[in-house]
Structure 1
Amino acid sequence: MQKLRGRVWIASFLALISLLGSALPQVALAAASQPAPAGNVTFKDESGDTTTPIKHVIVIIGENHTYDNVFGTYQPVHGQTVNNLLSEGIVTASGNLGKHVSKAQQETATDTKAYQLTPTKTGKYQTLPQPYTTYAQGQPQNVPDQRFPANLPNGPYQITKYVPYENSYIGDPLHRFYQMWQQQDGGKADLYTWVHETAGDDNGALPPKPTNQGALSMGYYNMSTGDAPFFKQMADTYASSDNYHQAVMGGTGANHIMLGTGDSAYYQDAQGRPTVPPSNQIENPNPKPGTNNNYTQDGYSGGSYSNCSDPSQPGVNQIQSYIHSLPYAPFRNGDCAPGAYYLLNNYLPGYTPSGQLSSGTPYIVPPQKFPTIADELSARNVSWKYYGQGMNDGKTPSQYFCPICDPFQYATSIMTTSKKNNLQDFTQFQKDVTNNTLPAVSFIKPDEIHDGHPASSSLSIFENYSKDIVNEVKSNPKLFKDTAILITFDEGGGYYDSGYIQPLTFFGDGPRVPLMVVSPYSKRGYVDHTYNDHVSILKFIEANWKLHTLSSRSLDNLPNPRTSAYNPYKPVNGPAIGNLMELFNFHHDD
């Protein structure tokens, strides 16, 4: 069966979708219609009790593009600065290589014994290998993509020199946890191509299967020549960040969980105690015998958990040693609990959208006991919803619906209570905008067709999807006047990025991804350099509605960054992440 998207569904995942449980209640929850507490207590909606003028936050989450992949040649409005491929002199505005391209040139390496975070280098690529199609729609599968040259110069290349921007499907770069750590090469970011060419995800196959990647990771879109025009317009008109990061070095599932909880899922029993997953579900990035860096067990039919508290586990000591060599201590509360095998990539959540236990495949994350931002919002009587495109109002979800993308489907506290009724189809969002019944906090997840994921979607499709939502909200002035729309991406999808990464724990952070903040209160044309990641969204929601942090482990406990005058990107009090407040001006008169 054809693999779908970079989180790459195994066949049994899609089979499960057709079995997803009973229908969600046909309920349109208004902003003030959270379930009443038990007893005779009268429900009081406190959604409007905020510390800023923002009464509605809408979070739109696309898929798999780094900041440089989208904003690599962005030129901000007068008075603003940006850190990207263009400003670093790595490329030119016309899409050619710049005089400082050596900063981004890719190297080869050797790693034949055990997983190495910084393997021995063996030289630079003379030319980059031809990008592959992987499973791109409308293209022959898993072959060199003949639309691209077979001798690309060593450095980032403009994708749209070879394919049109609008609705072009290109191959999907590799983007899993241990690969993402390794491609960074201890901060030098010079092993993207080599890792993608060698690591594989074939779970022990001998001889190893071809990687079918080429230099997919080094492609970027060019705003200076007209690519991503709406995103450019939003950055010019409102506010954006050039220092916002995926929170986990890994795929879709782990990053969405972090976005909803500030924490990571682990394999556990019904009481929430750590247990050992099946052996074929444990990661082993050590190279197979006789190979150069072809991982032993890492792929979409197994290999997504690691016991990162045990330095003897494959790959663990290399990452932990690197983190503990840094000039600051990592966030220990949010690191690896003893004996816990943490999810690093993608498995199905423990529940279907209707609250039934997931079944039909062994690759399911056990129901999780962690608290979520939805629990904290509900406890404070602040309304919220998760709108999943393709959820189909509780009927059997579309095959393009993303079950691994909903952080709340992993949580027992949501899915075994009436709070699960707040998971609704995207069509309900459109009704809520029209009827002025939008909740205080909305999470929007497009389906696989519209989410921008390489191969199964495109950046232009997600851009137009986001544009429709922004225009729809802006067409309701009563709503938009106190709304902040946050447009971001779950993770970089394996694409190259030149930005600084601040390790917080074993899990991440990962590379930069775009963030645009569309609001009447956004600073006009502002490019924020504050170090942020997905948990910064939680920190903003918590600060705005006076909520508690979610747990002692959650990364929302981290302080806001302080920086030095000569480097606004790197916190001097690390580990630290912002709360997005710097992107707003709450004192203007217009």
Structure 2
Amino acid sequence: MTAVIDNNTTTNMITTTPIKHLVVIYPENTAFDHYFATYPNAENLPGEPHFSALPNTPSINGLTIGLLNNNTNAVNPYRLDREDSKIVAVCDNDHEYSAIQKAYNGGILDKFVGNIQNTTSKSCDPNQPMGFFDGNTVTALWNYAQHFAMSDNFYSTNFGSSLAGHINLISGQTHGVVPEDIEGYVSNGTLIGDLDDARFDDCSVSQTISLTGKNVGNLLNQKGVTWGWFQGGFKPTNRTIATDTHDNNTSAVVVGQAVCGSAHVNIAGENITDYVVHHEPFQYYESTSNPHHLPPTSVKMIGHTDQANHQYDLSDFWDAAENGNLPAVSFLKPSQYQTGHPGASDPLDEQTFIVNTINRLQQLPEWNNTAIIIAYDDSGGWYDHVMPPIISQSNDPKYDTLLGPDGLCGHAPTSAYQDRCGYGGRLPMLVVSPWAKMNYVDHQITDQTSILRFIEDNWQLGRIGDQSFDEKAGSILGMFNFTNGHYAERLFLNPGNGTLLDLP
């Protein structure tokens, strides 16, 4: 790649592509087939947003007629409509490390019904993991795929849950957890479950963990590249008040821990807390944490190192971006009701967030050198018909179940960290950018750490090390066209239904 210098950016950093600003939008819990099983063919029932594919739309690795009508699972995959979003918003699927491996059943992929259980207290359909949406519900994502680039061969780095997917995005390394063993959550020093609470976060309420080692924030800081993690609900609603008694028997009121109490009502009418600790991966590393959720000292300091330590509320992103201070690397995490995570969110609330975000970003003066990546933290327990390539084996007899009760996940080399069986489930991934190839489907094997690797390569940061998956990650450069004269036009969509709008 040829280095490009742009003195008109806020960073003046040398990059190896024309991309000076990367924005990663990171929703939740979606397998590729759950959103793109029948792409580009939608049912187009009356009363639903219509979708018609552009001419010459490339084919993808979706569900064939045989898989739709004669599936090896206990029930066939079935279409969910827009009204079913209200059911998804209250019914979650098990998506932990062992359960997902069991569902994949050594590559037969026939155990999703029975192994992927409902994890809420609601009365939910046990066949739900076999459901999928099409372009009449996830209309925006299908339209972005039509006009920009997407992958049909992108995977979670490991089997398992949300926290692992977040940690892999920023470090490619789920080993190094302290303490080293917590039943169902940590094994052999490796993260295998969603332990909600980070040691370096006031809004943690139960047992906490931390991670050692480096993450991409450390690399960005070393290089002087501006960056931030921006999450809905990170801004405290209030702080606890304590009284500090001094040796001379005087006392003073001290402002204490942050309280993260903001909430929104989701599509099902349930009140959902905005901030989720295990969706904020940098809080698990002391070096990149903002334990007390302190605000940036000024808009100009957003992206730079100050008391906020690069961890922000989502509102801080727009304060910076719309005032000429868009960081070079930004991770955007919606409030929980808009993450798409079943049991709290749904595709329509998720779509509203994604479309509003992209519509606003396309109006920034920095748009011409910006790329947006839409990727997901895990497969959410939803059915997908593709067996991932296993590039990391693990033989923990307690938690590895990919090849049957005694089959483990192969056998890891003696020097390798255990409990990192992967790649895991196939996930949607799209690139929206003036530099993205148009109506393009990338088939190269990539994973969550391919995003990490793009950041490392574009800003010449080096690697994480210590068996991080960034060393093995496939490149996403095939989704871009960096030749002179290429320009993918802006696409403005309706946040309510995902259909096309006229340019403002």
Q: TM-score range with shorter-chain normalisation? A: 0.7 to 0.9
1:486 counterpart (368, 373, 388): 373
Gaps of 5+ in 1: 1-31, 33-43, 92-96, 107-124, 126-153, 203-208, 269-274, 283-302, 308-340, 559-576
In structure 2, what residue type is equivalent to 1:177? Y
What's the CA shift string for 1:187-239, capped at 9, x where partnerless?
A: 11100102135xx879xxxxxx999651110000022xx22111111000011
Is the contact made by 1:394 and 1:424 (CA closer than 8 Å) also made in structure 2?
Answer: no
Equivalent in the alignment of 1:71 = 36
In the alignment, the residues of structure 1 paired with residue 10 and residue 141 of structure 2 have an alpha-carbon distance, to the nearest angstrom, of: 34
Deviation, 1:368, is 2.0
Is the contact made by 1:239 and 1:518 (CA closer than 8 Å) also made in structure 2?
Answer: yes
Q: Name the CA shift for 1:541/1:210 in 2 (closer, same or farther; >3 Å).
A: closer
Is 1:579 equivalent to 2:475 in the alignment? Answer: yes
Equivalent in the alignment of 1:80 = 58
Is the contact made by 2:176 and 2:212 (CA closer than 8 Å) also made in structure 1?
Answer: no
Q: CA RMSD in A?
A: 2.7
Is the contact made by 1:262 and 1:556 (CA closer than 8 Å) also made in structure 2?
Answer: yes
Is the contact made by 2:196 and 2:204 (CA closer than 8 Å) also made in structure 1?
Answer: no
Deviation, 1:503, is 1.4
Secondary structure of 1:387's counterpart equals strand
Deviation, 1:536, is 0.4
In the alignment, the residues of structure 2 paired with residue 159 and residue 230 of structure 1 have an alpha-carbon distance, to the nearest angstrom, of: 16
Equivalent in the alignment of 1:184 = 104
Is the contact made by 2:200 and 2:286 (CA closer than 8 Å) also made in structure 1?
Answer: no
2:65 counterpart (64, 89, 114): 89
TM-score, length-scaled by structure 1: 0.63
2:389 counterpart (471, 489, 502): 502
The percent of aligned pairs where both chains have the same amino acid is 28
Equivalent in the alignment of 1:194 = 114
Equivalent in the alignment of 2:186 = 305
2:217 counterpart (371, 374, 377): 374
Q: Name the CA shift for 1:210/1:53 in 2 (closer, same or farther; >3 Å).
A: closer
2:449 counterpart (514, 535, 541): 535
Q: Name the CA shift for 1:370/1:458 in 2 (closer, same or farther; >3 Å).
A: same
In the alignment, the residues of structure 1 paired with residue 337 and residue 468 of structure 2 have an alpha-carbon distance, to the nearest angstrom, of: 32
Q: Name the CA shift for 1:165/1:47 in 2 (closer, same or farther; >3 Å).
A: farther
Secondary structure of 2:26's counterpart equals strand
Q: How many residues align?
A: 394
Deviation, 1:578, is 1.4
In structure 1, what residue type is equivalent to 2:151? S
In structure 2, what residue type is equivalent to 1:530? Q
Deviation, 1:485, is 0.5
In structure 1, what residue type is equivalent to 2:476? L
In structure 2, what residue type is equivalent to 1:581? L
Gaps of 5+ in 2: 1-6, 41-52, 239-258, 263-272, 291-304, 395-419, 488-504
Is the contact made by 1:47 and 1:440 (CA closer than 8 Å) also made in structure 2?
Answer: no
In the alignment, the residues of structure 2 paired with residue 448 and residue 79 of structure 1 have an alpha-carbon distance, to the nearest angstrom, of: 33
| Bigger proportion of residues as strand | 2
What's the CA shift string for 1:162-181, capped at 9, x where partnerless?
A: x3558973521111110001
Deviation, 1:349, is 4.3
Deviation beyond 4 Å, 4+ runs, structure 1:
44-47, 164-168, 209-213, 416-420
Is the contact made by 1:244 and 1:531 (CA closer than 8 Å) also made in structure 2?
Answer: yes
Is the contact made by 1:67 and 1:513 (CA closer than 8 Å) also made in structure 2?
Answer: yes
In structure 2, what residue type is equivalent to 1:496? Y
Is the contact made by 1:167 and 1:461 (CA closer than 8 Å) also made in structure 2?
Answer: no
Q: Name the CA shift for 1:459/1:539 in 2 (closer, same or farther; >3 Å).
A: same
1:105 counterpart (64, 72, 82): 72
Q: Name the CA shift for 1:555/1:463 in 2 (closer, same or farther; >3 Å).
A: same
Is the contact made by 1:64 and 1:494 (CA closer than 8 Å) also made in structure 2?
Answer: yes
Q: Name the CA shift for 1:526/1:588 in 2 (closer, same or farther; >3 Å).
A: farther
Equivalent in the alignment of 2:458 = 544
Deviation, 1:402, is 1.5
In the alignment, the residues of structure 2 paired with residue 483 and residue 586 of structure 1 have an alpha-carbon distance, to the nearest angstrom, of: 12
Deviation, 1:414, is 1.5
Is the contact made by 2:340 and 2:349 (CA closer than 8 Å) also made in structure 1?
Answer: yes
Equivalent in the alignment of 1:222 = 134
Equivalent in the alignment of 2:93 = 173
What's the CA shift string for 1:321-364, capped at 9, x where partnerless?
A: xxxxxxxxxxxxxxxxxxxx3110111343445xx6x76422x1
What's the CA shift string for 1:395-420, capped at 9, x where partnerless?
A: 53233202111111111222388575
Is the contact made by 2:232 and 2:333 (CA closer than 8 Å) also made in structure 1?
Answer: yes
Q: Name the CA shift for 1:394/1:168 in 2 (closer, same or farther; >3 Å).
A: closer
Q: Name the CA shift for 1:545/1:182 in 2 (closer, same or farther; >3 Å).
A: same
In structure 2, what residue type is equivalent to 1:434? E
Deviation, 1:73, is 1.1
2:350 counterpart (448, 457, 462): 462
What's the CA shift string for 1:66-105, capped at 9, x where partnerless?
A: 11000111126515221011xx2246xxxxx4xxx33x32
Q: Name the CA shift for 1:168/1:351 in 2 (closer, same or farther; >3 Å).
A: closer
Pairing of 1:406-425 with structure 2 (within 5 A): 406-415=280-289, 418=306, 420-425=308-313
Is the contact made by 1:392 and 1:425 (CA closer than 8 Å) also made in structure 2?
Answer: yes
Deviation, 1:469, is 0.5
1:392 counterpart (213, 235, 238): 235
What's the CA shift string for 1:241-281, capped at 9, x where partnerless?
A: 1111111211111110111111004443xxxxxx653xxx3
In the alignment, the residues of structure 2 paired with residue 494 and residue 421 of structure 1 have an alpha-carbon distance, to the nearest angstrom, of: 34
TM-score, length-scaled by structure 2: 0.73
In the alignment, the residues of structure 2 paired with residue 50 and residue 394 of structure 1 have an alpha-carbon distance, to the nearest angstrom, of: 39
Secondary structure of 2:16's counterpart equals coil
In the alignment, the residues of structure 2 paired with residue 72 and residue 424 of structure 1 have an alpha-carbon distance, to the nearest angstrom, of: 35
Q: Name the CA shift for 1:90/1:391 in 2 (closer, same or farther; >3 Å).
A: farther
Equivalent in the alignment of 2:24 = 59
Equivalent in the alignment of 2:195 = 347
In the alignment, the residues of structure 1 paired with residue 204 and residue 59 of structure 2 have an alpha-carbon distance, to the nearest angstrom, of: 50
Is 1:401 equivalent to 2:260 in the alignment? Answer: no
Is 1:435 equivalent to 2:411 in the alignment? Answer: no
Q: Name the CA shift for 1:451/1:79 in 2 (closer, same or farther; >3 Å).
A: closer
